[in-house]
Amino acid sequence: MTIHIGAEKGQIAETVLMPGDPYRAKWAAETFLTDAKLVNETRGMLGYTGTWNGHRVSIQGSGMGMPSLSIYANELIRDYGAKTLIRIGSCGAMQHRVKVRDIILAMTASTLSTPSSGIFKELNFAPCCDYGLLSAAAAAAKSLDVATHIGGIYSSDVFYDERPDLTEQMTRHGILGVEMEAAELYNLALRHGVRALAVLTVSDHLLTQDALPSADRERSFGDMVDIALKAAFA
């Protein structure tokens, strides 16, 4: 057990999928895993462990924002021996060519600040994903015939942003989408020598104001989980 994860030693797999929403963790575990068992419910942040195609997998909610993600990723790596962490979440598109329901594979994650900023001090560190996971995820998405975009994203430390000037510059510089967790996940993975990737479903669009209808969310999120699992064990 740790402060925030109630699982016993050995109950967490080396491969962990990390949705922000704990109920999305529950849905993904029940939908994709065999013999999924609840191993954590501390503070309502649900975590499950089961198998996928014979491979042991955990799915652990991370909460909203980089500080929350940092807590769970640190404990998963340090105390439970996680070696592969894949964020599965939603994001907002920032390019016209990126459409609602598309998948974004985050090669890099730009940010104004993360919980790791105090370590880097004046350095503008550029966190990136694991290339092996990225390549495998791209192949998996192609096999599913899912519209997929690979490139940089923005990890915001606020949800209700009031910086249209910053959004304009990120769009100008090719940032594909915005979410709130991946940059810190990449920082921690690089620091501890483990693999990380963010596989994101576009649920809304900052430029067109389109949004994914609730009735279509399960199908689209299912593609994201499928890609993440196939990438983890390619």
Instruction: Cite the active site residues.
Output: 204
Say whether 181 counts as a known binding-site residue. Answer: yes
Report the SS3 class of residue 196: strand
* 110 is known to lie in a ligand binding site: no
180 is in an annotated binding site: yes
Residue 117 assigned to a binding site: no
Look at residue 12 and give its three-state secondary structure.
Answer: coil
CA neighbor of 73 nearest in space, from 226, 158, 224, 192: 192
Return d(Cα 230, Cα 93) in angstroms, integer.
Answer: 24
At residue 38, φ and ψ (nearest 5 deg) are -70, 120
| Residue 179 is assigned to a ligand binding site | yes
Q: Would you tell me how many other CB atoms lie within 10 Å of the CB of residue 23?
A: 11
d(CA 220, CA 59): 18
Are the CB atoms for 166 and 56 separated by under 8 Å? no
Q: Is 193 annotated as a binding residue?
A: no
Burial 41-77 (b: 16+ CB within 10 A, else e): eeeebbbbbbebeeeebbbbbbbebbebbbbbbbbbb
Q: Does 216 count as an annotated binding residue?
A: no
Check the annotation: does 161 bind a ligand: no
Integer Cα distance of 231 and 225 in angstroms: 10
Q: Annotation-wise, does 4 bind a ligand?
A: yes
Which residue from 205, 3, 196 is spatially nearest to 90, judged by alpha carbons?
205
Q: Which H or E element spans position 15?
A: strand 15-18
Does the annotation place 89 within a ligand binding site?
yes
Feature table: binding site: 4, 20, 24, 43, 87-90, 179-181, 203-204
Q: Which residues are annotated as a binding site for phosphate?
A: 20, 24, 43, 87-90
The annotated binding site for a purine D-ribonucleoside is made up of 4, 179-181, 203-204
